[in-house]
Amino acid sequence: MQDFKESIKNRAMFYFAVIFLLFVIIAFRLLWIQVINSAEYKDRALNQRMREFVVNSERGIIYDNTGRKLAVSLAAKTVVALPDSIIDPQKTAQELAGLLDVNYDTIYRRITSDAAAIFLQRKINDQLHEELLARDIPGIIFIDESKRHYPEGELASHIIGFTGIDNNGLSGLELSYNNYLVGKEGRMAVERDAAGKPIPAGIRESVPVQNGHNLHLTIDQVIQYFAERELKLAEENFDISGGSIIVMDSQNGDVLALANTPTYDPNNFNNYPEKNWRNRAINDVFEPGSTFKIITTAAALEEGVISENDILTDPGHIYVGRHEISCWSDRGHGAHTFANVVKTSCNPGFVEVALKMEKDTFYSYIDAFGFGKRSSIRLPAEADGLLPEYNRIGEVELATFSFGHGLSVTPIQLASAVSAVANGGKLMQPRLVKEVDRGAEQSNLINEPSVVRQVISEQTANKTRELLKQTVLNGTGTQAAIEGYEIAGKTGTAQHYNEDLYDASFVGIVPTENTDLTVLVILYDITGDTYYGSQTAAPVFRNLGENILSYLDVKPDFTQQPGYELSDEKLTVPEIRNLSKFEAEQSLREKGFNVKIQGDGDKIIDQLPKAGALVNKNSTVWLFDDKVENYNVLIPVPDFRGMELEAVKELAALRGLKISSSGSGKVIGQSVYPGRRIKTDQVISLKLQ
């Protein structure tokens, strides 16, 4: 009995010890939870009651230069599944598969996952939203998101670009200005009870949303529409792979229109091939052909190696080394002024002019006009253009550069370069965005017009422009003429290497009341018999120019003088040798000559043309001083055949060539083939009959 009582007592003590130990553990645990680590558990409890929601920001609006909206954000519904609330997953998946852009297996896998909520399809249209609402499918809810919308559809699509499903820019200004447009999403936390309902006096926390900034562009929606319409008409009229048009305000670099074809609708960009998204005016390069002669003309006039009155000779071709470079006219243009070289777009004439400039000089102008590097227009994937390495440029390359072959440029580079001729010689940085509107609390970001550099003098720019007016008035660009307006411009045609494909172009200067517009038209990969820029791009330019002038209400002036007349006054070149450089230049300029001096010496030892030559007023006389290394320049030989001896002597003296003759009458043969370039001390033997 005593043992039994002792056993009971021991058991009681044991259970008491166990209970006491449990009490101590529980007490310690409570102390840990309620005192030592109370803050953590308080946060956990609060988090169980809190529900955080993302508040999407609204992407900024993109406006044209008159305030018309080109890109806006609209409210859109996104379909969300709550797997725990779905009653019949198979039936739900079948029903949704017939309505959404998602197959049955994908939907079923998603709605049976462990996730609390999952996206099924984002940013659906209103019709689908209404249909899903009417079906009232258990476990399917909708949340609000922002959807990008382009109210003008295809208009300016290559400029504006598009956004992805997450509302971030993927192309165009939507991409390059994404950091300004996208804004910052907000967040809101709401305290809920066990049933998931908001607690009226519960804790609410929020991070305010910051909507994106608005962009104000330089683009004019109406001019952009005109440009895109003309490209569509060009597609109907010519066999082309595409085209580009740029309209630029030459004074400030504002791009008023930048159009490409083929195009696409950014609202449904996935429905178009990726090639349609490509902004060829920025991303692609092409050989400019004869439009580049504008650059050659400006550079040569600025350097003083030529004047518009200088006489050049064109037998239909010119030889540079072993290479024959032909004129578009098989018979050539004979002896004609440089003004006529520009007007008729004579390749041999431009080759001769380019070779009068040293490689360093001509290349420096190509660089100064902005070729070979990006224009910084701030659109994605802008190309640099293609220029041969400097040390790989020889005489042949220099010659072909003169008429726009052997180098490739982007349309925006060419438009910017010609704008420098239009505005008095200033290369402007092209501008697409005028202003970023950051709202009332921050100052706006103003993108001021920016002068890159002064490339040529105002005098040279004006003279080049006058020569280009003659091209449109009665030269190769007559199809671009607009009655009542002084249009300056140049056609261009470049053949693809070893292919019957051509890029045709026209770049022109259109005067308005307040500024001058540079308009560039390019048609790519033309096939068929009609491919010259004068036949294709020039008429497109004319139609576009007429629409722009009408829209801007620029009245025609039919009282303007028809053209730029060269003086027919003749001057006899005086003897300048043995005079000082200063005396020689002063004497010639006072008599009405243009002067180009070669060398760094003080005394003139030779001249071209020679003394006694009869030349046009303002013609260029080359002077060589006593420190010039090599003044025996190469002169293209004219075609003397069929000319009387007196006329031959006059032309030879003008060109600084030496001749000898046998027989009488007209020239029937010459010892140096026409177009060959020879030194001035080489004698050309002529046979007369």
| DSSP-based three-state secondary structure for 548 | helix
Sequence length of the chain is: 689
Distance CA 262, CA 259 (A): 10
HSE, side-chain direction, 13 A CA sphere, residue 157:
24
- Backbone phi and psi for residue 644, each to the nearest 5 degrees, phi listed first: -75, 155
Q: Which of 92, 140, 89 is nearest to 113 (CA)?
A: 89
Question: What's the longest Cα–Cα distance across the chain?
Answer: 167
Between CA 379 and CA 385, with CA 381 as vertex, the angle to 5 degrees is 105
Let me know if 661 is a catalytic residue: no
Strands (DSSP E) along 262-316, which ranges?
A: 311-314
Q: Which of 145, 247, 183 is nearest to 436 (CA)?
A: 183
Dihedral over Cα of 634, 639, 644, 650: its sign: negative
Distance CA 54, CA 179 (A): 19
DSSP state of 560: S
Catalytic residue among 73, 290, 534, 619: 290
Distance CA 539, CA 312 (A): 30
Please check whether residue 74 is in contact with residue 167, taking contact to mean a CB–CB distance below 8 angstroms. no
- Between the two ends of the chain, the Cα-to-Cα distance in Å is 165
Number of H helices, E strands in the chain: 21, 31
Please check whether residue 403 is in contact with residue 297, taking contact to mean a CB–CB distance below 8 angstroms. no
DSSP state of 194: T
Task: Name every residue whose Cβ is closer than 8 Å to that of residue 616 and which is 6 or more positions away in sequence.
Answer: 309, 310, 311, 337, 566, 567, 568, 569, 570, 571
351-381 burial: b if 16+ Cβ within 10 Å, else e: bbbbbbbebeebbebbebbbbbebbebbbbe
Distance set, CA 129 to CA 100, 120, 123, 135, 326 (Å): 10, 13, 9, 10, 68
Distance CA 348, CA 352 (A): 6
Q: Where do we find the tokens 């002792």?
A: 6
Please check whether residue 360 is in contact with residue 347, taking contact to mean a CB–CB distance below 8 angstroms. no
Residue 25's CB: how many other CB atoms inside 10 A? 10
Please check whether residue 429 is in contact with residue 389, taking contact to mean a CB–CB distance below 8 angstroms. no
Q: Where do we find the tokens 């997953």?
A: 89
Q: Where do we find the tokens 């910052």?
A: 184
DSSP state of 59: P
- Catalytic machinery residues: 290
